[in-house]
Structure 1
Amino acid sequence: MRNGTIQHLETLNPELTIISVEDKRFKGYGRVIVHPYMDRLLERAAPLIPSELPENKYIASVPELEALPGKELYNLVFGDTDIQVGYVAGPNMTLNGLEYHKSPEVIIALTDQMLLLGKWEDIDDNWHYDANRVLGLYVKAGECIELYPRVLHFSPCRLSDQGFKTLIVLPRGTNTPLSEETLAKRISGTESQCLFMKNKWLLAHPERLPLIQKGAYPGIRGKNILVQYK
């Protein structure tokens, strides 16, 4: 039997294919991880993250979140390398862009949310990606997933009026500013033009002017997908 929430979301978003984390199609993008301390995370992490924000907020590293249990799990995912635990939260409902890292990423949903995913292999030779290829992933509160390296993703989309809250685990330093030397070496027409932050390559939607004004490469073609939930 199909998930009733997914059926509802598909009715509201008929142009978007939506799956759950249990769907076999997700295996091409990532995997489900059983977090041994999920109940404790839901109880202790959510109060550390602001609620009902007027716009998205991303903090790459939060010491209080890094002190919560789970390090042994993250060590297995990231091969015992130094990691950071932060959060993203807010009212987002649109695609706006797609980023990728050359490392795994662990995503822990503290609220129900939708991730918009794509495959790096579908970026064309001109470094453009067609938004029609995007897949919607419904992630329930309390679910923990690993996204594989180079999987295209960006901010979660909310599925309630209260917005979304998500923990993000990445190698330390990811999503922090590039050096001026590295910025100067980016070359148009190559992957380097997409390098936006450390370990973060970004294709922005041309309609997302705040990203374009910050130097993001406008690589998304097609509709800036809007996720409806009611």
Structure 2
Amino acid sequence: MKILKVTDPAFKRYGRVVENVDFSGLVEELKKTPVPEGVVYEPSVEALEAQPVMEELSRVVYGEMPIQIGYCNGHNTMLNALEYHRDSEINVAAKDAVLMLGLQTDVEEDHTYDTSRVEAFLVPAGTAVEVYATTLHYAPCHVTEEGFQVAVVLPRGTNYPLKGSHTKVEDAQCGAGVSNEDAMLTAVNKWLIGHAEGGLDAGSFLGLKGKNLCLTEEN
């Protein structure tokens, strides 16, 4: 599929390049984290949060909100799913990575989404981007066989296990979609729209229509 750069004007619908924060120390620490054959996500990593940028991100980017810094590393070329939060997410690349993105405003009333609307953007190594709350996103894709290493900054508590009871997908099903957004909540502050070929956990909402996009194939 076509890959644009995050400096392309088309990216402005989805986010921005963060240029007013020094991420160099975080990038060097991120390079020490493991890169598996699959994909691994850790929401909070002590060594990353010990970097001076932790305080600066909380103060300058998140307006003094409590935050967490983790990582998403590995090898991946597939879309598989799209998720969103109620806030922006900062992604910092230690290796070149590609983000497949969509707009929450293009989600249908039954919470399904057509994957033909997805666009791909290259985040060069050393670059940080803010992915807006209205942007659909999921695991990055690798550019080289070395895989990807991406730091993930979010408000504290995001992506941790849910504690309360929520609507089940089967109870909210209406055709291919769901009638209640609550059925899409899979973790704290994480609403997920999965693809039937995405290998997701049983009970996930499979509302992505169209191809399970692959970075190395034409749409």
Q: Structure 1: where are the runs of 5+ without partners? A: 1-12
RMSD of the TM alignment (CA)? 1.9
Contact 2:14 2:134 in 1 (8 A): no
**Superposed, which structure 2 residues align to 1:43-58 within 5 Å?**
43-47=28-32, 49-51=33-35, 53-58=36-41
User: Retained in 2: the 8 A contact 1:104–1:149?
Assistant: yes
CA distance in 2 between counterparts of 1:57 and 1:35 reads: 28
Point out where structure 2 has 5 or more consecutive residues left out of the alignment: 173-178
Q: 1:79 aligns to what?
A: 63
- Following the alignment from structure 1 to structure 2, what is the Cα–Cα distance between the partners of residues 35 and 161? 31
For the Cα contact (< 8 Å) 1:212–1:218, is it kept in 2? no
Task: Give the secondary-structure state (helix, strand or coil) at the position aligned to 1:193.
Answer: helix
Distance 1:205 1:87 in 2: 23
Cα offset for 1:72? 1.2
User: Is the CA contact (8 Å cut-off) linking 2:169 and 2:184 kept in structure 1?
Assistant: no
Number of equivalences: 210
When normalised by structure 2's length, the TM-score is 0.90
Counterpart of 1:4 in structure 2 is none
Residue type of the alignment partner of 1:108: V
Bigger proportion of residues as strand:
2
Question: Which residue of the other structure, out of 211, 216, 220, is the alignment partner of 2:204?
Answer: 216
Cα 1:194–1:132 change in 2 (3 A) is same
Query: How do 1:32-181 residues align onto structure 2 when only pairs under 5 Å count?
Result: 32-34=17-19, 36-47=21-32, 49-51=33-35, 53-70=36-53, 71-181=55-165
Distance 1:184 1:117, change over 3 A: closer
* Aligned residue in 2 for 1:9: none
Q: Give, in angstroms, the shift of residue 150 of structure 1.
A: 2.5
- 1:40, distance to aligned residue in structure 2 (A): 2.2
Structure 2 residue identity aligned to 1:20 = K
TM-score normalised over the length of structure 1: 0.86
Look up the SS of the partner of 1:37 in the other structure.
Answer: coil
